[in-house]
Structure 1
Amino acid sequence: MTDEDRTISDRIQARLDDLTRAERQLALSILENYPASGLGPLAALAKGANVSVPTVARMVQKLGYKGYPDFQADLRDELGAIAKGPIAKHETWAGAAPSEHILNRFTDAVIDNIRNTLAHIDPAAFDQACALAADRNRHLYIVGGRITHTLAEYMFLHMQVIRPNLTHVQSTSNTWPHYLLNAAEGDVFVIFDVRRYENNTLKLAEMARARGAKIVLFTDQWRSPVHRLADISLTSRIIVPSAWDSLATPMLLVETMISAVQTLNWGDTKGRMQELEEIFDQTKLFRKFT
């Protein structure tokens, strides 16, 4: 994948090991309030990170830019991409859309998203997130928003079979504060938030964090503001030839996490599955052809 395909956040994280101590300090300062952190004057960025102006200039060049103005131009483009609504997203791709069938174009975009996502995800961080979700001693809260509630509901449905002690929260509902009453230190909140990021979701994350909860975030390549609060952030690329973003790659990560948590808890999960099947038989919910 070329630098042109990456966000500045991707570039920084890929080069962290090659940076000097001062440059790394600057990089972490940028990521702390990304992407807004780099939109001010060069001197202000240097002062905020407590580094010299030449340090900023050197790091920007290491990221592949000729100078700070080019770096800022890309940041502004990213900020504009984050804020795009459905109409603007449609216009971005429709004007230059190639002639092949939408089935091929859409599928190619999803495959590219999956490849780029897997190239950047940290397997150790993913395993850690799965371990948190599998820990039956921690109450598990699964939080979705306006669009991402579909991912949250899918995960919740499967986790109900795999483990006890969990709650589904919709941040779009005005009842979400009620769920925080029972949240305790060490509990786990799995939160879904992709552009356009939702204020209720951020507020919920802030309040959960204040109560000592762990946060696992599923987000996009620009990263939700919840990223600053999260213990683990799992980012996915979501751009496709559509007025809407694609949840195909986040869904891949969700289904993989469900599989991993099921395996970690298989002894108990198998018993729960058998008990559930007995309940299904009693209710005659599903047809049997035997």
Structure 2
Amino acid sequence: MAEAAQTISDRIQQKLEDLTRAERQLALSILENYPASGLGPLTALAKDANVSVPTVARMVQKLGYKGYPDFQAELREELRAKVKSPIAKHETWAEAAPSGHILNRFTDAVIDNIRHTLGHIDPAGFDEACALVADPARHLYIVGGRITHTMAEYLFLHMQVIRPNLTHVQSTSNTWPHYLLNAGKGDVFVIFDVRRYENNTLKLAELAHARGAKIVLFTDQWRSPVHPLADITLSSRIVVPSAWDSAATTLLLVETLIAAVQGLHWGETKERMQELEEIFDSTKLFRKFT
């Protein structure tokens, strides 16, 4: 399976409206514990979803597979792609890299990622995520991982200007109990977790979920193990001709969210911006040429 191809999750979501009631029940059962749900025997999958064996066979054919073995084979390829190290990812691109300058090849890959991502984002779900993040009555917690902490910090910096009542959760797990001490029902955790998913991030999500917090997850096309706990998942395509995955599409979603959130309570946000500018002026932090 080529990494930039559709995932099985993508196919299921695209076909949901065309499925029968039983097939849709099966599809939602698969997505609920994706991708592990599809790795067992066909009979076990049917039993877990409370549907018949023929229903499983019909649905995988509707997804474009000859049968359940083909469906499972592609699912296993997705799992292998999920856990690739940077060296393995580089070798994949090095073997199949098209001709042309890296600037063009990399840009083409990013544009393709953006196109695929926007084609699968649910606008209503995105709007719901923006409303949760914008609500000043909910304490907002933002957390990233080893690499994604940079995007978490970027989002946090902007949210500091836009709204009060928020916390940047540091990436070290020994500090998390202190942050979680004050987290409660209705609070919001924005969590970044992309492949080579981090066990500490999953544990934090489990604890936040147990306390009744809402979770907005930024992840990749294969989806973090945090996904089943998330109220809203925003998945991005991340594969580029590099040993490293790309953050470009995820950053696009983050910046779009920032723009939407600032507009939801623009009156209050504008006042905070004006006050911040006054503080900047008093500290002479920035040079002025007027």
The two structures have a TM-score, normalised by structure 1, of 0.97
Residues 171 and 204 of structure 1 are in contact (CA less than 8 Å); yes or no, is this contact kept in structure 2? no
Q: Name the % identity.
A: 85
In structure 2, the partner of 1:140 is: 140
Aligned ranges 1:239-250 → 2 under 5 Å: 239-250=239-250
The 8 Å contact of residues 146 and 172 in structure 1, kept in 2 or not, is answered as: no
Cα distance in 2 for partners of 1:49, 1:264 equals: 40
Q: Cα distance, 1:173 vs. partner?
A: 4.2
Greater mean deviation of Cα atoms: 67-76 or 42-51: 42-51
Residue number in structure 1 paired with 2:259: 259
Structure 2 equivalent of residue 153 of structure 1:
153
Aligned to 1:21: 21
Alignment pair present for 1:103 and 2:115? no
Quote the offset at 1:259 in angstroms. 0.5
Does residue 32 (structure 1) correspond to residue 28 (structure 2)? The answer is no
Q: Which moved more, 1:111-120 or 1:91-100?
A: 91-100
Structure 1 residue identity aligned to 2:267? G
In structure 2, the residue matched to 1:127 is 127
- Corresponding letter in the other structure for 1:152: A
Partner of 2:179: 179
Cα RMSD of the aligned pairs, angstroms, is 1.2
Is structure 2 residue 55 aligned with structure 1 residue 55?
A: yes
Q: What letter corresponds to residue 159 of structure 2 in structure 1?
A: M
Aligned 8 A contact 1:197 1:225 in 2: yes
User: Counterpart of 1:175 in 2: which secondary structure?
Assistant: helix
- Residues 141-188 of structure 1 show CA distances to partners (whole Å, capped at 9, x for unaligned) of 011111110110000000000000000013334212210001011101
Structure 2 distance, partners of 1:174, 1:147, is 18
Q: Structure 2 CA distance, aligned partners of 1:26 and 1:276? A: 52
Partner of 2:76: 76
Q: How far 1:225 moved relative to its partner?
A: 1.1
Describe the SS at the equivalent of 2:160: helix
Q: Equivalents in 1 of 2:265, 2:105: separation in Å? A: 39
Match for residue 277 of structure 2?
Answer: 277
**For the residues of structure 2 that align with 1:227 and 1:185, how far apart are their CA atoms?**
19
| TM-aligned CA deviation for residue 270 of structure 1 | 0.7
1:180-219 equivalences under 5 Å are 180-219=180-219
Q: Which residue of 2 aligns with 1:86?
A: 86
Paired amino acid for 1:203: K
CA distance in 1, matches of 2:16, 2:260: 29
Report the Cα distance in structure 2 between the residues aligned to 1:132 and 1:149, rounded to whole angstroms: 21
Following superposition of structure 1 onto structure 2, how do residues 213-232 of structure 1 map, counting pairs within 5 Å?
Answer: 213-232=213-232
Give the 4+ runs in structure 1 shifted more than 6 A. Answer: none
CA-CA distance at 1:16 after TM superposition? 0.9
**Per-residue CA shift, 1:227-269, capped at 9, x if unaligned?**
1011111111000001110000010000000001101111011
SS at match of 1:233: strand
Alpha-carbon deviation of 1:85?
0.7
Name 1:117's counterpart in structure 2. Answer: 117
The Cα shift of 1:22 comes to: 1.4
> How many positions carry a matched residue from both structures?
288
Distance, in Å, in 1 between the alignment partners of 2:10 and 2:74 is 13
Q: Secondary structure at the match of 1:235?
A: strand
8 Å contact kept, 2:143–2:168: yes
Q: Conserved in 2, the CA contact under 8 Å of 1:162 and 1:272?
A: yes
Residues in 1 aligned to 2:219 and 2:170: alpha-carbon distance in whole angstroms: 16
Structure 1 contact 46–52 (Cα < 8 Å) conserved:
yes
Residue 157 of structure 2 aligns to which amino acid in structure 1? L
